[in-house]
Amino acid sequence: MSDAAPFWKTKSLSEMNREEWESLCDGCGRCCLNKLEDEDTGKFLYTRTACKLLDLKTCQCTDYPNRAARVPDCVSLTPENVSKLGWLPQTCAYRLLEEGKSLAWWHPLVSGRTETVAEAGINVAGEAYSEEGITVEQLVDHIWKLPKAKRKAV
Ligand code: SF4
Ligand code: SF4
């Protein structure tokens, strides 16, 4: 077994290859929730309403290859835009690494298991619902404070 440090500790976002980049996404689905920006503070508020293409059980995009065409305001993350997207969740791996922080215990690259994302309460399964039928004006009634991660079970 190699003792070499893992790629996310040694490479910048722009140095990662496609596979490494994609593996950073923990599949939490948080970025696929509708957000509101507080005009006074500039802070972003999340809602429980999810993009119509989000699978509410698996938290995966149901049409990832065609997402830009089907959801024009869906933003594809790049090494260049991560630092500019203030609405990215604090728990998002891209944001964490961009800010020089570490991945948490529950991230699949650290834990070795995708299930830990749900075990830590990070994914939106069971918490979010579809945006369909909800108007932009009604979003304020669906504001949700994203929960912090649960501690690792011992
Ligand atoms: S918030 Fe970040 S880690 Fe979670 S699904 Fe979105 S891109 Fe992936
Ligand atoms: S189109 Fe897919 S990736 Fe984009 S916000 Fe919707 S569910 Fe998420």
Residue 130's φ and ψ, nearest 5 degrees, are: -70, 150
pLDDT value of residue 1: 53
Q: Which listed ligand is nearest to 54 at the C-alpha?
A: 2
Cα-to-centroid distance, 90 and ligand 1 (Å): 10
CA–CA separation, 98 and 88 (whole Å): 11
Q: How far is CA 23 from CA 1, 56, 108, in A?
A: 21, 20, 9
pLDDT value of residue 2: 61
Q: Atom 2 in ligand 1: which residue has the minimum CA distance?
A: 92
pLDDT value of residue 154: 73
The answer for residues whose C-beta is within 8 angstroms of residue 107's C-beta and 6 or more apart is: 26, 93, 116, 117
Say if ligand 1 is within 6 A of residue 89 CB: yes
Each residue's pLDDT tens digit in the chain (154 positions)? 567 899 999 999 999 999 999 999 999 999 999 999 999 999 999 999 999 999 999 999 999 999 999 999 999 999 999 999 999 999 999 999 999 999 999 999 999 999 999 999 999 999 999 999 999 999 999 999 999 999 988 7
Q: Which listed ligand is nearest to 60 at the C-alpha?
A: 2
pLDDT value of residue 103: 98
Q: Atom 8 in ligand 2: which residue has the minimum CA distance?
A: 32
pTM score, whole prediction? 0.95
